[in-house]
Structure 1
Amino acid sequence: MSALTATDAALPWAGRIRLSPGLILAGLFVAAVVVAALVPQLLAPHDPLEIGTEGAFLPPGGSHLLGTDESGRDVLSRMVYGARPSLVMGLGATAIAITGGTLLGLIAGLGSRLTESIVMRLIDVVLSIPELLLALVVITLAGAGSTNAIFAVAFAGIPSYARIVRAQTHIVRRSTFVEAAAGLGIRRSTVIWRHVLPNAIRPVLVLSTIGVGSAISAGAALSFLGLGAEPPAAEWGDMLSNGLQYISNDWFLVAVPSVTITLTVLSITVLGRELRRRSEGRTA
């Protein structure tokens, strides 16, 4: 028996836990973003709102590793503190979208044909509108602000989750264990809560990891347009928007937030796709 075979025999799970370098890097980057969101003071060397006395548009180096912006504020500190509103946007919008999508999906999947037809036609109409455009319409009607931006992004994501839950509900409601539970006289609400809902929402929870990245990207776009967090709060999209005004003075003010947003969304998407692959039992 070779050394590799002996190791696999001693550790039966060794063959299943083979992480690619890209997956490891994505996990480390997401972990860093989470730490920055939870305890930013550990990573930020300065106050993100403190106007620096050393000058504006300082190049990276010294006490300002990523330089300073037009007001002399430390760019690194603002990037670190900007992780929290971005994660709140992604997680909050995704949670609201899953809740609303699950409710609509269950109504369509368990209701009468007329009810299903009405709900699905409404969902089809909403799906025909690009999500970012729909979020812009919602936030224009509700007003700018971080909270309204979260609900706007969530509203745009509800139809996608609703379609998935509706399709899964149709599959689960015809399953043997659901029919057996109904045949035993168990109340319909109990069957839905204990059997239909957990099985219908399972694939949605896996796909939601990818949805978090999309929500962060949409939230940054709204902030870039001035419809998200109010300045001078540190937020990646707003920092990117402000940096464009001074790109001739310091291109770094645009590069840093844009690269951070891209890497965050990409890393979360990579982890979400890997989670989806493993949940479906597929190999790399």
Structure 2
Amino acid sequence: MRHDTNERATAPSGRRPEPLCGAFPTWGDLLAMLGIFLGANLLVGGTAGLVRLALLGAEAPDAAQAGRMLFVTYLLSMGLALGGVLLYRRLRGGRGCVARLSRRGLDPALLGWALLLVVALEVVLDPLTSRLPGPPYEAMGRGAWTFAALVVLAPLLEELLCRGAVLEALRSRRGDRAAWIGSSLFFGIMHLYPAQALGAFAIGLVLGYVCLVSGSLWGAVVLHAANNALAYWLMTAGYAETSCAEAVGHRGLYVVLYAAALGAAVAAVRGLRRAGRRLRAAADKNREAA
């Protein structure tokens, strides 16, 4: 992990820099890293299921117990997955940084436009995601432990894995565009459930863009946390499995909301591009001054 305040910010341009670490990563390496993630989740999830059965029998845990179980199992599974991916990366000859940590990732304009785009995409994709299978939200529990797992652990650990280890590995070998799309696909697939996978891929594109134009992981962590906080609020309010159209309850109002979300998405994309150009110009100026 490297803290670098002068690293040049680059957009997803498709540029192919010289490889830093031999043949790694191939697309087979990406599949292997995804397999490590899935294996870690199966191992920890299966063990947790046996422990819960031994402690509670057939009795379902209450919301607080489910939240504590979610926190512990998530911490163990993601910690094991991240450690396994980093070890695999090292054994395969991967070199260079795992995550870039620069204050540019906390640029207010960049974060504001990106957050608007994330929220707009949730509405735009809802007609499709609401018809696809989603996760068992009730099993996640409620309360402080669930909130900590979803809004603190998930943004940190998933960003270190997806926009850290995976994106940076792809970027060193195949350029910004492949890193942008490949890390977003990885992020989507690791969510497994089709509804979550589609949304995660789209949001991953936003998070990956923020990382690439800012040269920092911090912006993606903040945006991921904000998105999950919104999802947690919807879950506790009973809207997790309710489509936008059902929540609005009036077709005319829903059409207006959907049109507004489309317009907001277009405006946010333009705003992100302007913020990215400004950050690149500032980075170039700092390089020249240095």
TM-score between the two structures when normalised by the length of structure 1: 0.28
More helix by share: 2
TM-score between the two structures when normalised by the length of structure 2: 0.28
Larger Cα-atom Rg: 1
Question: RCO greater where, 1 or 2, for CA within 8 Å and sep 6 or more?
Answer: 2
